[in-house]
Chains A and B, each alone.
Chain A
Amino acid sequence: MLLILRSDVQGRATRWVAFTFAITGAVWLGLFAAVLTVANYIHVDVPSALAIKLPLLQSHPDLIFAGESRTEYQIDPELAAKLTGRKAGQAVNIAYDAGEPLAFLGAIRQQGESFADAHLVISVAPFLFNEGVRSAAVYPLNVVARLSVFEQLTSFLPFRIGTLIRFIRETFKARLAFEQGVAKGEVHSAAYGLSIIRTGEPRDRWPSNLGTHAHYANWDLSGPKAQYEIGALCEMARLVRKLTVVIPPWAPHYDRNSDELWRKKDDEYAAAMVNAGRRCGFDVLNIQGVSGLGDDNYADEMHVIASGIPIYTSYVVARLRP
């Protein structure tokens, strides 16, 4: 009798634990959806990382470098100004890590007069268009914001929850920067926006090939990323004096001819840019290699260290059409 009673209590307790876990899952999902709804509601397209660089526009530059890390760490705007006969401050670098075209379009809509007469040179990377890359660090947040809460949940849960968490956190930071007027505040960026990578990764930690690199994983250019980001480039072309889209090179370590997988995907992505450029009226500068830039100038498979900055900057500036 005692054993029966005891097993009944045990069964009840076990059912209670299972029931509690089930409700926890449901309640958590509801709360998470509620937070996403708030994030979607307060979202602004200009993230805080870009907002803190926008005060650079107070010097009314007419050559603006934008885009992702390969402009942020590789283009020296002071040198670019010198090479093009401009005064210091007439060229600036407002690129930021994983910077996406939609964010710069947001900045242009906020401060249209600063961009209207400028030549905007924006770098892009495959992960900005490849729907197969869904990791938190690089998924374009403005694309997430354009999805409904249901789409967000079904696209990223459960294994890519980090992407949604980053979206929520960055959205609140962006809203804070917007309300504090950071974009029109004091200039905090040194060297007109250039950042420098001080130390590189050892060569043996670079990926062995690019065909299977994370930026080209699960290759798919038909998703919302490509749709919205290419749309943003087209919209941008109408709002600035001139738009040049730059496809920066990978380290010379990698040989296109011996990596067919990479070549095929990369050509497809470059073609998508060129087609969009033809359709919307912007130049595309597809840089597959820079003479004088060797593996020793690279910190990793895609970013240069300080010694590579002048070489890369000179190369890009020399190929910009007025």
Chain B
Amino acid sequence: MNIDYSQEIPVVEGGLKQAHIEELISKPLDTKPDKKFLIAISISGSLLLIGAICLGLTFYYGIGLWGNNQPVGWGFDIVNFVFWVGIGHAGTLISAILFLLRQRWRTGIARFAEAMTIFAVMCAGIFPAIHTGRPWLDGYLFPYPNQNQLWINFSSPLIWDVFAVSTYFTVSFVFWFVGLIPDFATLRDRTTSKIKKTIYSIFSLGWRHSHRNWQHYEKAYMLLAGFATPLVLSVHTIVSFDFAVSIIPGWHTTIFPPYFVAGAIFSGFAMVVTVLIFVRKIFNLEHIITLNHLERMNKVILATGMMVGYAYATEFFIAWYSGNQFETFVFVNRALGPYAWAYWIMVSCNVLFPQLFWIKKIRRSIPIMLVIVIFVNVGMWFERFVIVVSSLHRDFLPSSWGYYTPTLYDIGILLGSFGLFFTLVILFTKTLPVVSISEVKAVADGAQPSHHGGNH
């Protein structure tokens, strides 16, 4: 594909010179943590602590401390899992798909998005592990030869999850690390402190910016992007199978895979925007993570938001059209039953509020955008809540209908997961370049030979 980027507004604003870019990006790494940083870390840290305590107690007394019951076997645990996996989709999407689509504006945010992916997937990964009744036996979920000569059930969606999520984590991590290598080299060569230098040297693996390497490097990056793209789609597809493959009305739906993927991108972008808004302010990266970036992302949010809305509508239509009374009941029950409140929170946050992004002013106004994306995050969490809980709480037999109320432990662990996420993000901003130095250099004006245009 040949796009003429000369028409395009510059990716890096204010005509920054290479050196300045580098200066700007690696500044947080060289300076001592300031007040803002310490406050932030202490908040997220204490959240993390709360989560840890709740988790410890749960481990000691059993998951009976949670609200789960008959018939609602899955509650916050799985809701959070799906939520975080969803968040984890933006990163790879931005870095891989936008890379393949030659969207150069991605460079400013790709690194950060990838990091968030990894942290989100970490948070997600915790929940399947702790939601089991006997977490200390989670090893059973992996196919290892054992003296009992048992194997696992490869036709169980949970096993697919195990493979999908672990693969996704590994690949995103590798992708991220490969991207980091040249930057490590740069840092290695500009730092003055001995310790830092050794650390950077180790991670840079001895990178020399040699073009003989760059050649393969770009190829590899290409390949990784090529694989990450179907992977990113597969992961949430498979997560959606957890529900779609079961027979519970409200779960047993073929629309789930696309619906979940759209939702994932939706929530992922929302989360990225949420965090970026702060990061670009705190580290004065306004010139590198520009308003254009945010606006573009808001456009994506608007689009995916409408996909999600479409999915909601379809579900209802099919429920009615199928004439299956269980289906029909579940969806009517969602909208009017005991969990109606959750349903309407979901709809308003995910479908109504994002519509404001039709207006350019709002797309480009930081405060409003912030409010909306936070709404979207909330809404997407509730979407998972609605899917998991409201489908389970009234399924086939009226005799075994119930109601699910989360306990303090549920909430504590949810907070904990946010604590973990933000702690990691904050540490990341202080230890690694939040923007890919080499990539941004490569797209700064005058970075490429003039008589070579931009064509790859």
B is a partner of A: no
Mark B residues whose CB is within 8 Å of A.
Answer: none
Mark A residues whose CB is within 8 Å of B.
Answer: none
